[in-house]
Structure formats: C-alpha cells, structure tokens
C-alpha cells in the first residue's frame, strides 16, 4: 500500500518547529490557463482554506480551459489536501475544464486516480431530495392510514394463529412458553410490589386527610380498596409490563429481524407469528391478571399502612371495612381489564418488533414505539371498558 | 442471451450423473426412521429443470435491482449465482427462497409456479428448501444443537433421542459436534456459518441455497465446505444454488452459473464457469473469472 502522508520535512529531527499554514494561490498566466500554487502544510488537523473561497476566482468569466498545479512550497500533506483537490477536480470536470495533475506529488496523483476510478453508481429510483411541507404532511397521513391497516392485519394474523393453536396445529416450543411465563410474571413481582404499595399508600394518605375533615376516616378503606381493585391495580400492572416486557419483546423480535432469524423461520415454513408472537401473547395474557391480583393486595396493604399509621384506624377495622366495600363485580372488572391490557402490551410489543427495520437504530425506535403504542391503547381501552362495564351493569 | 438460457434448459449434460438413493446420508444413522423427505424421481425429471426463471425482475419497492432473468437450474447441479458486490445476488436469492416477491416474471419449481401458488402451497415448497444465510441467521436464544433440531422437531415424528442424534450428526458434518450446547453468540463468525449449513441440511432438503458460504472462512474451512457441498450433492442428489464470488470455490463446485451485472441490471450470461472463462464473448465475465488478468 502507498503511504498516505507525505512530509518533506523530517518531523523526528525537527519536532518543535511548527509547520507553515496551508496556502493556495491562483495565477492566470494566460486567459485560458490557471496555475494553482499550493504551499504550506496541508493536514487534517490544521486550518485548511475553504474551497468555496477560490471557487469564485477560479471560475470567474471567462472560465479557464485548463488548470495545472505548482507544489514546490508544499511542506506536508495528508487526506486534507487530497480531498480538497478531489473536489476541486470534480468541480472542474463538471464545467469541462481540463485538470493537469502532473505538477502534483506522485502520491497525490495516485490517490486522485483511485478516487475517480470507481464509477459512481446508485440504485435507480431512489430519490432523496427534501420534500416540501405539504407533501410531507400528506405522506405522514398516508403512513398513518397504512400503519392502522398494518395493526389490523397483524391482529388478524394473531387471531389466525390463535385458532391454529386451539386446533392444536400451532408451531411453537412449550419450553419457550415456560421461560416467558417466568420472565413476564415472577420477575416482575418486585417492581409491581413497590409501585402498587406506594400508590396505595399515597391514595390512603390523601384520602385520610380529606375524609378526616368530616369525620369519615374509616371510609379511606373503601376509597383505596375500590380504586385499586377496579382500576389502579390493573393499570399499574399493565404500565409496568409495557415498560418492562413490551419493550423487551420489541427489542427481541427487532434484533431477530436484524439477524435474519425471522427470515430463517419463514423459509423453514414456520410462521413467526405462531412461533414467536403466540407464546408471548399467551404468557402475558395469563400472567397479567395474576400480577394484577397481587398488585391489588399490595395496594390495599399500602392503603392500610396509611390508614392505620396516619389515620389511627385499627388493622382489623380497616380490613373488615375493605372486605365489606369490595364486591365480586369490582374484582371481575379489574381482572377483565388486566387481561385486555396484557393482550395490548403483548400485541404492541410484538407488532413493533416484527415491523422493525434492519438496523440498530430501527430496533431502538421499535422499542420506544412499542411502549408508546401500548400505553396509548391501554388508556383508550380503560376508558372503553369503563363504559362497557357500566352498560352491562357490572359496576 | 435468452437463446443461451433456453439452450441450457434442455441441455442433457447431467444425464450421466450418478444418482444415489436420496437418504444415503441418513443411513449411517441406523436408529433414525426415514425422514419425511419428498423423494425426487431423478430419472424421469433429469431433462426438465428443477428451478426455472422466466423473465423475472427483482428489487425493492419501485427500485429494480435485476430484470429479465431467464435461466434454469438442473436437478442435482451445483448452480452458482455470481456477480460483483451489490449486483443483486442476495436479492435474487430472497426471491428464490420465498422472502421477496419478484416484481415481474415467474419462478417455477418442478414446473409449478412458486409465487403464483397460494400461500400454503408456497410454505410447503419452502419447507423442502434449506437456506444458509450470509450472516448465519442462527436463532440466538437457542443452542447450536437446538438450532439444528428445531426443523426436525417441527416436521418429523422422530423421538427426542433420535432428534438429538440427527442434530449432533449434522453438526459433526460441519465439524462442530463438540459445540452442541454453545449459544450462537459464543462462537466465531465462521463457525456460525457452518452451523447455518448444518441447520439448512437438517431436513435433507431438495434444494439447498447458500449465500456466500465461504466468505469469512479461512481457506481450509472454505475448501472443506466446498467438499461438503459436493459430497452432499453426490450422496443425496440435492440441487445446490450457491451465491458466491469466491473464484476458487466457483471453479471447484459449479456445474452451471449465471452472471449478474450491476451496471446493466440484468444477467449477462449463463453456463459452466470454466467454459465461460475461456470462451465467453463478454469481456467483463472473462475478467471476473480470471480476476481481471488473463
Ligand atoms: N432492503 C433493501 N431495500 C432497498 N434496497 C436494497 C435492500 N437490500 C439491498 N438493496 C440494494 O440492492 C442492491 C443489491 O443488493 P444485494 O444484497 O442483493 O447485493 P449482492 O449481490 O448480494 O452483494 P454482495 O455480494 O455484496 O452480498 C444493492 O444496490 C442495495 O443497495
Ligand atoms: Mg449478498
């Protein structure tokens, strides 16, 4: 390989002396011929002249027919000079100006030849110009419509896979399902404990302060119990799972997309939806209600802590009141919500993972998008479910 | 160009190739039941091509990468898809293995349209193909043995112990039997490729597709892989479609080939690479096959 750095001074014997600054000068010896004189040290780490500055002078009408170089003052050079000359030569060629490279050091000539030897070629039909605002807006809108379609198509595929599973034809590994159940369920217990206990505590504390004003302190048990069991327990669980598990699903499937692992499944005739999405969906749908029950208990415990320590109720009193306040209909509401939320988290995580592009950045986007999608749909579903429960008389 | 391709389709050159019974490799495995391999009938089908492309265009979205590809792959041949980097070899292979619908034209396997068929039929067809990906594409959450075993678990009635034996045997074929319980992230890139080959062979497929099998392998391993490809072809009669630009490997294994050109976005020629090197009238192809110098 050729040396990339030419240095006409010896840096070892002369280490301290600073290099002279890079210079470039144009001289028109005849109207149609320009000599470009290059001097000083042209290094990437030095202050290099700006190509645009000599542009105007060089191409001033009438433009030259040819340019040549003069480099007797050149002290040192590296890619800084070569890239400068390469773009200069490129601009000249665009204007049909002949570039005479003979005056340049041999190394630079060779590198310039190398840089221009591989013809530039790109895939046809790829345009990269910036779109005007309205066009972008329109494209975004089309994207939105398409993504809705994709979500529906994905749900359709998942439904077909579910049907295949019910008839015992779905292909996935049971061992993987157990691993997922553990990952989704057991491993989430600590964080769910912490958050639901604290939410119960906060609800209890604020409730106690307000209810104390009209001497109804005991009703803090009703307030905490109902809020947690009907809504908060399921919601806390779902949001923790969206951040913890939904994101993980998207990242896993996205990475598999990058590594062509999903292609490898497809070409084997194994449906990635059956093999990858189904076990994740089942694991989440099975575990979310269980985790929600656990979150309910921890939340009530948090409320009891506030009620007894701050509110001065006795533990027996508090629990009797809680048990009296909560009916089966409330518990059912919470569990149905939790199941729906679990499905939402699983589907958003897997959908975004399967849609992921084939790069590290795309996997990151897929992960973020999985969490956002899940939370948006959880909130929408929770509002919708409240209406449904009301309509069927469950509340 | 198309007349040349048509000529190849009817070329009876491979008629004298020895065709051993398809399950020869598995017979060294006494306990295993014969795997449900759709057996080919070599004698009757020798003349008509195993894979036939008819004016196929491939590309992404609106972008055409290769157009007007027409050629046939004979049963039991090692067929090489060659061409410069970025010419669309991998893209064409994605269409052949069922991952990317061609933009135009037909791909026929055993005379049956592949992309025109309903999805179920296509899936059945895909199952009979083995694919080795350029990057290995091993399932990262499974050990090497599980990777090779998965196709067997899904598509055969073998018992657990038998699956283990077949999987270890396939890994042994690529020299990796000692690494059964390693995960893909714990082995080198070249080893991953070899496991990819073992997994592609798991079901004794009709057609094996290889994307750059020897890239990233040391010369000896590359040579061993070439030998393995030839060995499998001899013993199982498998048709091999190999994407490669490794000249040594091309001359060692190829019976037939197609040359894709990036500049004109189409195939320039088909034929045996040795003949092409000597007699092809297109200079680019001769240069490619002789590394630019005669
Ligand atoms: N997912 C994609 N979307 C759009 N264009 C792509 C995509 N993948 C590849 N291409 C384009 O298709 C062309 C051919 O790529 P391909 O991977 O088929 O080349 P190749 O012949 O396999 O090259 P190599 O020998 O380097 O592997 C390239 O120009 C590339 O820009
Ligand atoms: Mg490729």
Q: Residues B167-222: pLDDT tens digits?
A: 999 898 888 889 999 999 999 888 888 899 899 988 889 999 999 888 878 888 88
Which CATH number do you get for residue A112?
Answer: 3.30.750.24
Same domain, A362 and A253: yes
Which of A368, A377, A356, A347 has the alpha carbon at shortest distance from A283? A347
Same domain, A187 and A90: no
**pLDDT of the residue at A116:** 77
Q: What domain range is A357 assigned to?
A: 161-391
Asked if residue A151 is part of any domain, the answer here is no
Same domain, A365 and A250: yes
**3-class DSSP state for residue B241?**
strand
- pLDDT tens-digit series, residues A73-111: 888 888 888 888 888 888 888 888 888 888 888 888 888
CB-based contact, A118 to chain B, within 8 Å: no
Non-local CB neighbours of B229 within 8 Å, separated by 6+ positions: B78, B208, B210, B213, B240, B242, B253
**pLDDT of the residue at B132:** 92
**Placement of tokens 């890619």 in the chain:** A79
CA distance A123 to B263: 10
Question: Is the pLDDT assigned to residue A381 strictly greater than 90?
Answer: yes
Q: Name the region of B137 (left: φ>0; alpha: ψ -120 to 50; beta: rest).
A: left
Instruction: Give the one of A121, A125, A264 whose C-beta lies nearest to B262's C-beta.
Output: A121
Question: Is the pLDDT assigned to residue A196 strictly greater than 50?
Answer: yes
Same domain, A168 and A100: no
Q: Max CA-CA distance within chain A?
A: 106
CA distance B115 to A139: 30
> Is the bond into B180 cis (omega within 30 degrees of 0)?
no
Mean pLDDT of B66-88: 91
**pLDDT of the residue at B104:** 92
Confidence of residue B54 (pLDDT cuts 50, 70, 90): very high
**Residue to substitute from A170, A182, A269, A359, interface B, most B β-carbons within 10 A:** A269
**pLDDT of the residue at A118:** 60
CB-based contact, B120 to chain A, within 8 Å: no
Which of A183, A213, A393, A384 has the alpha carbon at shortest distance from A279? A183
**pLDDT of the residue at A128:** 60
Question: Distance (Å) from the C-alpha of residue B289 to the closest C-alpha of chain A?
Answer: 19
Confidence of residue B231 (pLDDT cuts 50, 70, 90): confident
- pLDDT tens-digit series, residues A126-162: 556 677 888 888 888 888 888 888 889 999 999 998 9
For ligand 1, atom 16, the nearest C-alpha belongs to B88
pLDDT > 70 in chain A, percent? 92
Considering its fold, how many domains does chain A have in total?
A: 2
Which of A311, A325, A319 has the alpha carbon at shortest distance from A213? A311
Domain boundary among A117, A149, A179: A117
CA distance A348 to A362: 16
Same domain, A165 and A228: yes
**pLDDT of the residue at A120:** 55
**3-class DSSP state for residue B185?**
helix
Domain boundary among A95, A117, A139: A117
ipTM rounded to 2 decimals:
0.76
* Beta strands at A98-99 and A23-30: parallel, antiparallel or unpaired: unpaired
**pLDDT of the residue at A35:** 87
R_g over Cα of chain B? 19
**Placement of tokens 């049971």 in the chain:** A174
Asked if residue A153 is part of any domain, the answer here is no
**pLDDT of the residue at A350:** 95
Asked if residue A126 is part of any domain, the answer here is no
Same domain, A110 and A165: no
User: What is the residue-averaged pLDDT of chain B?
Assistant: 82
∠ CA A268-B256-B11, rounded to 5°: 110
Mean pLDDT of A359-382: 93
Same domain, A168 and A101: no
Instruction: Give the one of A121, A123, A267 whose C-beta lies nearest to B98's C-beta.
Output: A267
Which of B13, B5, B32 has the alpha carbon at shortest distance from B259? B5
Domain boundary among A117, A142, A176: A117
CB-based contact, B73 to chain A, within 8 Å: no
CA distance A107 to A329: 84
Same domain, A232 and A343: yes
Comparison of pLDDT for A124 and B130, the residue scoring more: B130
Question: Distance (Å) from the C-alpha of residue A277 to the closest C-alpha of chain B?
Answer: 15
Same domain, A285 and A380: yes
Asked if residue A129 is part of any domain, the answer here is no
Residue A380: both structure tokens together: 């929408």
Note whether B129 contacts A267, CB cutoff 8 Å.
yes
**pLDDT of the residue at B31:** 42
Note whether B139 contacts A121, CB cutoff 8 Å.
no
Asked if residue A142 is part of any domain, the answer here is no
Which of B119, B121, B120, B96 has the alpha carbon at shortest distance from B106? B96
Asked if residue A147 is part of any domain, the answer here is no
Asked if residue A25 is part of any domain, the answer here is yes
Same domain, A92 and A201: no
Confidence of residue B8 (pLDDT cuts 50, 70, 90): very low
**3-class DSSP state for residue A207?**
helix
Asked if residue A136 is part of any domain, the answer here is no
Number of Cα atoms under 13 Å in the Cβ half of residue B41 = 4
User: Exposure pattern of A255-292 as b/e (b: 16+ CB <10 Å)?
Assistant: bbbbbbbbbbbbbbbbbbbbbbbbbbbbbbbbbbbebb
Instruction: Give the one of B64, B126, B138 whose C-beta lies nearest to A124's C-beta.
Output: B64
Distances (CA, A) of A195 to A64, A292, A293, B159: 76, 12, 14, 47
Give the distance from CA A164 to its chain's centroid: 32
Sort out which chain B residues have CB atoms less than 8 A from A171's CB and list them. 154
Same domain, A256 and A358: yes
Residue B128: both structure tokens together: 């009979």
User: What is the residue-averaged pLDDT of chain A?
Assistant: 87
Residue B135: both structure tokens together: 């990057």
Same domain, A62 and A194: no
**pLDDT of the residue at B10:** 39
Question: Distance (Å) from the C-alpha of residue B16 to the closest C-alpha of chain A?
Answer: 32
């Amino acid at each position: 390989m050729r040396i990339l750095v030419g240095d006409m001074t010896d840096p070892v014997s002369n280490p301290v002396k600073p290099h002279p600054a890079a210079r470039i000068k144009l001289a028109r010896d005849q109207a149609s011929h320009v000599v470009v004189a290059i001097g000083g040290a042209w290094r990437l780490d030095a202050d290099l002249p700006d190509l645009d500055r000599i542009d105007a002078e060089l191409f001033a009408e009438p433009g030259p027919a040819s340019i040549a170089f003069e480099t007797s003052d050149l002290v040192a050079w590296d890619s800084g000079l070569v890239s400068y000359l390469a773009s200069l030569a490129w601009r000249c060629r665009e204007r049909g100006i002949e570039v005479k490279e003979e005056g340049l050091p041999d190394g630079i000539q060779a590198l310039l030849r190398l840089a221009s030897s591989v013809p530039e070629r790109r895939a046809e039909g790829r345009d990269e110009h910036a779109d005007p605002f309205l066009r972008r807006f329109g494209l975004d809108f089309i994207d939105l419509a398409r993504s809705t379609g994709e979500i529906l198509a994905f749900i359709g595929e998942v439904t077909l896979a579910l049907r295949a599973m019910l008839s015992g034809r779905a292909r996935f590994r049971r061992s993987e399902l157990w691993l997922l159940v553990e990952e989704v369920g057991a491993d989430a217990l600590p964080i769910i404990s912490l958050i639901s206990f604290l939410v119960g505590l906060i609800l209890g504390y604020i409730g106690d302060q307000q209810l104390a004003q009209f001497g109804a302190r005991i009703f803090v048990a009703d307030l905490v119990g109902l809020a947690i069991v009907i809504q908060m327990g399921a919601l806390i669980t779902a949001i923790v799972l969206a951040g913890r598990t939904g994101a993980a699903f998207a990242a896993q499937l996205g990475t598999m997309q990058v590594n062509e692992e999903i292609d490898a499944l497809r070409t084997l005739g194994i449906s990635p939806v059956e093999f990858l999405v189904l076990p994740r969906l089942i694991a989440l749908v099975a575990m979310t209600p269980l985790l929600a029950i656990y979150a309910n208990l921890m939340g009530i415990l948090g409320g009891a802590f506030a009620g007894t320590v701050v509110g001065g109720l006795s533990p027996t009193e508090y629990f009797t009141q809680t048990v009296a306040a909560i009916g089966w209909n409330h518990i059912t509401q919470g569990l149905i919500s939790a199941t729906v939320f679990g499905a939402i988290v699983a589907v958003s995580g897997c959908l975004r993972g399967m849609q992921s592009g084939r790069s590290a950045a795309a996997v990151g986007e897929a992960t973020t998008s999985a969490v956002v999608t899940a939370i948006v749909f959880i909130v929408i579903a929770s509002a919708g479910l409240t209406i449904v429960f009301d309509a069927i008389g469950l509340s | 160009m198309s007349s040349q391709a048509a000529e190849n389709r009817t070329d009876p050159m491979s008629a004298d190739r020895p065709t051993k019974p398809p399950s020869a490799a598995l017979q060294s495995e006494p306990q295993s039941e014969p795997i449900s391999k759709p057996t080919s009938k070599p004698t009757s089908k020798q003349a008509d091509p195993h894979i036939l492309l008819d004016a196929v265009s491939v590309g992404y979205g609106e972008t055409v990468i290769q157009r007007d590809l027409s050629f046939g792959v004979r049963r039991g041949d090692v067929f090489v898809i060659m061409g410069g980097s970025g010419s669309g070899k991998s893209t064409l292979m994605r269409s052949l293995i069922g991952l990317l619908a061609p933009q135009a034209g037909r791909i026929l396997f055993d005379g049956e349209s592949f992309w025109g068929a309903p999805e179920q039929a296509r899936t059945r067809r895909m199952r009979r193909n083995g694919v080795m990906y350029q990057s290995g594409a091993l399932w990262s959450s499974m050990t090497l043995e599980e990777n090779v075993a998965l196709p067997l678990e899904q598509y055969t009635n073998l018992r657990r112990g038998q699956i283990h034996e077949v999987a270890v045997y396939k890994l042994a074929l690529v020299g990796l039997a000692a690494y059964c319980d390693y995960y893909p992230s714990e082995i080198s890139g070249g080893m991953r490729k070899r496991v990819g080959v073992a997994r592609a062979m798991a079901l004794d497929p009709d057609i094996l597709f290889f994307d750059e099998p020897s890239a990233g392998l040391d010369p000896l391993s590359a040579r061993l892989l070439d030998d393995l490809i030839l060995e499998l072809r001899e013993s199982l009669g498998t048709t091999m479609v190999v994407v490669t630009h490794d000249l040594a490997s091309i001359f060692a294994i190829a019976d037939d080939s197609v040359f894709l050109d990036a500049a004109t976005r189409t195939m320039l020629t088909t034929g045996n690479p040795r003949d092409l090197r000597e007699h092809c009238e297109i200079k680019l192809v001769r240069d490619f096959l002789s590394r630019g110098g005669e």
